[in-house]
C-alpha cells in the first residue's frame, strides 16, 4: 500500500508535522505516462492547498485534485478535473496546478480525448480547467492548443516534455511541449479563463526529431523499416498494436528490415526502433487490405 503524506513545518524546516493526503491511491501502472504530481499553495489564502495528480480509479488515466481549506490538516475527496466521458480510455497526463493572485485555481494537462484510439500512443492537446471554490467544482474544460499534435516517440524519452501555467486575473498564461510540426516545440498562449479565447499561440523553442522510414503505408502484406540513422550494434525493433500490446520484437536488426504483416488483422500499429540505452523512435503504420 502506498500513501502520500503532507508535511508542514512551523520551524523553518527543523521539524515537520505529517498528515495523510492520499490513502491507497489507484496508480497509473503504464510507465509511459508522465505520472508526476504537483502541490500548489494559494497566495491569497494561506489555508488553501491543491494537490493535482493522475489517478486510474475510473479505468484510464484522469486528472484529479484533492484540496485543503485548513492549512493541510484535512483534505477533500478526489475531484475529477477532465470532463470527457468517464472510462472512455482517453488518457491524460503532464499535470500542473497554479493559484492566481486572486486565489482562483487553474489546472493544466496533456489530453488525448481528440485522438481516434485509446492508450498512450495517441494524438494530444493541452487543456485546462478553472475553479473558483478551491477545487470543489470546475468550470468546463478549455482547450488551450490550436492543433491536435500527432504522437511521436520523442515523447517516450525522459526530459522531452514541458508543462507550466500561471493564472493572472483573467489570463491563463500556459506553456507546453508538443510535436505538431514534426519537431518538439515549446508553445506559449495567453487565454481568457472566462471566454476561452487566446491572443495567439507563440512557438518558443524547437528541437529536431530524427526520421524513421516506413513503407508502404498503409500495408497490405509486408512492411519495410528503414532505420539508417541508428548507428552501432544492439539495435532492437518492437511492434505494438493499437492497445499498446507488444506483438513482435527482434534484436540486432539491420538498417533495412522487411516485416511480414499477413498474420495481423487490419488496424493501427506502431514500430519502435531503439538502441542499447533504449533511446529510439516510434512511428505509426496501418494494415489495410
Q: pLDDT class for 201, splitting at 50, 70, 90?
A: confident
**Tens digit of each residue's pLDDT (9 = 90 or more) over 145-198:** 988 999 987 787 766 688 999 998 888 999 999 888 777 888 898 898 888 888
In the predicted structure, residue 84 carries a pLDDT above the cut 70: yes
Which of 17-31, 131-145, 198-212, 253-267 bottoms out in mean pLDDT, i.e. has the lowest?
198-212
In the predicted structure, residue 64 carries a pLDDT above the cut 90: yes
Domains and CATH numbers, the chain: 4-208 (2.120.10.10), 213-287 (2.60.40.10)
CA atoms within 13 A on the CB side of 80: 16
Task: Calculate mean pLDDT across residues 248-264.
Answer: 91
pLDDT at 116: 92
- Mean pLDDT of all residues in the chain? 89
In the predicted structure, residue 65 carries a pLDDT above the cut 70: yes
Task: Calculate mean pLDDT across residues 188-216.
Answer: 79
Share of the chain above pLDDT 70, in %: 93
Task: Calculate mean pLDDT across residues 251-262.
Answer: 90
Q: pLDDT class for 211, splitting at 50, 70, 90?
A: low
pLDDT at 213: 85
In the predicted structure, residue 208 carries a pLDDT above the cut 60: no
**Tens digit of each residue's pLDDT (9 = 90 or more) over 234-250:** 788 999 998 888 999 99
**Tens digit of each residue's pLDDT (9 = 90 or more) over 15-47:** 999 999 998 889 898 988 998 899 999 999 999
pLDDT at 90: 96
pLDDT at 234: 75
Distance CA 90, CA 148 (A): 14
pLDDT at 194: 85
Exposed e or buried b per residue across 209-240, where buried means at least 16 C-beta atoms within 10 angstroms of its C-beta: beebebeeeebeeebebebeebeeeebbbbbb
Distance CA 44, CA 60 (A): 34
In the predicted structure, residue 278 carries a pLDDT above the cut 80: no
C-alpha pair distances (Å), 88 with each of 82, 214, 232? 12, 30, 42
Please say whether the beta carbons of 153 and 124 come within 8 A. no
In the predicted structure, residue 222 carries a pLDDT above the cut 50: yes
Q: pLDDT class for 68, splitting at 50, 70, 90?
A: very high
pLDDT at 144: 94
In the predicted structure, residue 265 carries a pLDDT above the cut 80: yes
Share of the chain above pLDDT 90, in %: 62
Distance CA 137, CA 121 (A): 30
**What pTM was estimated for this model as a whole?**
0.74
Amino acid at each position: 500500500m502506498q500513501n502520500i503524506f503532507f508535511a508542514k513545518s512551523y520551524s523553518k524546516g527543523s521539524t515537520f508535522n505529517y498528515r495523510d493526503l492520499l490513502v491507497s491511491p489507484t496508480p497509473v501502472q503504464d510507465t509511459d505516462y508522465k505520472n508526476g504530481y504537483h502541490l500548489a499553495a494559494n497566495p491569497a489564502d494561506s489555508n488553501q492547498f491543491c494537490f493535482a495528480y493522475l489517478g486510474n480509479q475510473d479505468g484510464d488515466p484522469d486528472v484529479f485534485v484533492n484540496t485543503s481549506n485548513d492549512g493541510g490538516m484535512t483534505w477533500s475527496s478526489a475531484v475529477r478535473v477532465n470532463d470527457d466521458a468517464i472510462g472512455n480510455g482517453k488518457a491524460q497526463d503532464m499535470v500542473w496546478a497554479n493559484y492566481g493572485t486572486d486565489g482562483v485555481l487553474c489546472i493544466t494537462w496533456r489530453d488525448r480525448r481528440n485522438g481516434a484510439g485509446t492508450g498512450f500512443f495517441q494524438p494530444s492537446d493541452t487543456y485546462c480547467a478553472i475553479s473558483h471554490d478551491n477545487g470543489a467544482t470546475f468550470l468546463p474544460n478549455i482547450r488551450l492548443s490550436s492543433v491536435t499534435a500527432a504522437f511521436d516517440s520523442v515523447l517516450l524519452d525522459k526530459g522531452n516534455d514541458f508543462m507550466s501555467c500561471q493564472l493572472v486575473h483573467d489570463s491563463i498564461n500556459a506553456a507546453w511541449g508538443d510535436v505538431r510540426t514534426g519537431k518538439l516545440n515549446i508553445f506559449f498562449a495567453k487565454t481568457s479563463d472566462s471566454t476561452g479565447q487566446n491572443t495567439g499561440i507563440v512557438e518558443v523553442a524547437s528541437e529536431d526529431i530524427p526520421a524513421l522510414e516506413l513503407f508502404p503505408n498503409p500495408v497490405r502484406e509486408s512492411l519495410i523499416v528503414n532505420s539508417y540513422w541508428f548507428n552501432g550494434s544492439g539495435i532492437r525493433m518492437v511492434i505494438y498494436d493499437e492497445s499498446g500490446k507488444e506483438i513482435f520484437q527482434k534484436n540486432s536488426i539491420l538498417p533495412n528490415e522487411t516485416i511480414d504483416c499477413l498474420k495481423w488483422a487490419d488496424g493501427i500499429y506502431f514500430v519502435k526502433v531503439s538502441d542499447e540505452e533504449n533511446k529510439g523512435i516510434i512511428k505509426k503504420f496501418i494494415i489495410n487490405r
